[in-house]
Each structure stands twice: as structure tokens, then as C-alpha cells.
Amino acid sequence: MKRLALGLGVAAIAGAGLAFVLTAPRPVAAERLEAIAATGGDAAAGETMFWAGGCASCHAAPGAEGDAKLVLSGGVKLKSDFGTFIAPNISPDPQAGIGEWSISDFANAMLAGVSPDGSHYYPAFPYGSYTRMTDGDIADLFAFMKTLPESKVASLPHEIGFPFNIRRSLGGWKLLFFTDQPRVQLASDDPQIKRGQYLVEGPGHCGECHTPRNPIGGFVSNAWLSGAQNPEGEGVIPNLTPGGKSISSWSTSDIAYYLESGFTPDFDSVGGSMVDVQKNMAKLKSDDRDAIAAYLKALPERPNGWE
């Protein structure tokens, strides 16, 4: 009996130790960080990634329009089943924002979801998508963000209850769901479709809303972009695959025109949180909107059961 208790005790300690090791935040490998720093970064090129990534949709002040979108003072609230996340100030202000960050700090945030002080970020910040971004695009985006106005607005703490307020537990979430692998295997090697895949699965982070999630916030497998309940409340997020009712009848040029203008083929308009996303998409080069459309048309058909 004593031996059993001792055995259980040892197992518990070993288990706790293993969990501690497994949930540790893991930054980007040193060699890659060096390679990213070495690319230098082109601010003009980074603007494309800024709009593709939708940074301003969460990090500009709530309701900001026009040039105010370039002031990343934070404050937008993202409601979820786990609580309310409040986007922080990521302007170049040295105190209130990320002005003191190195390119490696930025790369660790974007590609590994790890903060400069070595803790996990909540995946409300969509690093689960951004992790697919190239070294060059990370460096370019960082260079562009350095050119933006500084804001002194203080970041607010997230409104998250127990147990989700324990950041270490996100290590478990990452173990289960965090991957830099493609979300779908496509038969085609068409460079346009590949570009679309990169934009949608990487910076564009479309799947964060358009893919259903399980109760602990991971994507349901084999349901990529098949639509979901609106995480912010009532209503639904449309199915983007050719197997759904939402846009399966649209041509590639219909999809590209929607992203450019906000009009559906029937001249209904974009609505809900997609209004802001569409404004971002309108700032991309037309080749990139065409690539996104080509990728969506190449997706496997996935009905979602509620359409």
C-alpha cells in the first residue's frame, strides 16, 4: 500500500513535470530568427501584408475609419465562448505599444504566439494562421508597422475567467491545435492557387471565422472553411467551399468582385464583420483577390449540415 502510494506520487510528479515541459512556450528557432532579421524588411511591400492580415480591424480604435485605421491603439473587443479579448496597442509607441520590440520579438509573436516575456498569446490573436507567413513578409510587415503613428492609449486586460486566464494552459491548446501545415492538400500546383492558399490560410486568416470549432476552440477536422456559427453572437458565417450554398454558384470573378466592391452577384452587399474585412481586401492588388478566388474554387466540397 505504501509502495502504491509512493508509485502514484512519483507518477503524479512525473506527469506534472511532463505537462510543464510540454506546455512551455516555444519561440521560433534561432536560425530562422536570424534569417528574418537578415532580410531587412521593405515597408512599402509590408503594406500589402498589413491589409491582407487585417491588423487594423482589431488593433485600430473601435469604429476607426480612413487614416485613423493606421493608429493601432487597440481597444476592439472580441467576444468569445471563453470571455472577451481586448486587442492591445501595437503602435510603435515605446511604452504603450510595441516600439521597443525587436524583429525577433515580432517574429515570435506572429509565428509562435509567444510574447517578448516568454508567455503564450491567446489564439484570439490569429498566430495559428500567421505562422504560415514567409520570412520576407514578416520582416516587411514589421518595417511597415514601424512607419505608423504612435499612440499613448494604454492596453486593457482581457476579460477572461478561470481556467482560461491561466496562460500556461494555452500550451496544451497549442499542443493539440497549433500547426504550420497546409489546411488542405490541393491537387493543383497552379501558382495562382498556391498564392491564394497562402493569403487565405496565412495572413488573411479567413478560417478563423469561416471554420467551425470544437468546444475547446480547435478547428473541427475536415471542415476547413465550411462555415460556422458567429462566435460573436447570433447568425452564421458562410460556407466558402464549393459544397455550400453561400457562394458555390459564384464564379472566380464574382468572388474577386465581391472582395473588391462588397457586392454579391445579385448586388446584395457585404454585411456584419465581413464589411471591415472587405474594405481590407479592396486594398490588395487585383491579382491577389483573383488568387484568393481561385483557391476558394479549388477547395474540396464541404457541406456543413445547416445550410
Partner 1 sequence: MKFRTLFAAALIGAAAFAPAIAADEPQVVRQEMMKKVGGATGAMAKMVKGEVDYDAAAALAALTTISEVAATFGDYFPEGSETGMDSEAAPAIWTDMDGFKAKLAAFKADADAGVAAAPADLDGLKAVFGPLTKNCGSCHETYRLKKS
Which chain residues interact with partner 1 by CB under 8 A? 234-238, 245, 261-263, 266-273, 275-276, 278, 306-307
State how far Cα 264 lies from the chain centre.
25
Q: Within 13 Å and on the Cβ side, how many CA atoms surround 220?
A: 15
Nearer to partner 1 by Cβ, of 74 and 238: the residue is 238
Q: Least distance to partner 1 from the beta carbon of 273, Å?
A: 8
Q: Does a cis peptide bond (omega within 30 degrees of 0) precede residue 163?
A: yes
Best CA proximity match to 80, nearest among 198, 270, 232, 297: 232
Nearer to partner 1 by Cβ, of 135 and 290: the residue is 290
Q: Could you give the CA distance from residue 71 to residue 90 in angstroms, rounded to a whole number?
A: 9
Q: Could you give the CA distance from residue 105 to residue 151 in angstroms, rounded to a whole number?
A: 19
**Contact assessment for residue 252 and residue 294, using Cβ atoms and an 8 Å cutoff:** yes
Best CA proximity match to 302, nearest among 228, 249, 224: 224
Q: Could you give the CA distance from residue 265 to residue 260 in angstroms, rounded to a whole number?
A: 12
CA angle, 57 then 63 then 68, to 5°? 75
Nearer to partner 1 by Cβ, of 143 and 281: the residue is 281
Q: Least distance to partner 1 from the beta carbon of 50, Å?
A: 21
Nearer to partner 1 by Cβ, of 66 and 163: the residue is 66
C-alpha cell at 235: 447568425
- 114: which residues sit within 8 A by CB, 6+ positions away? 25, 26, 27, 28, 108, 120, 121
Q: Least distance to partner 1 from the beta carbon of 238, Å?
A: 7
Q: Least distance to partner 1 from the beta carbon of 199, Å?
A: 21
Q: Least distance to partner 1 from the beta carbon of 21, Å?
A: 44
Nearer to partner 1 by Cβ, of 45 and 236: the residue is 236
Nearer to partner 1 by Cβ, of 22 and 275: the residue is 275
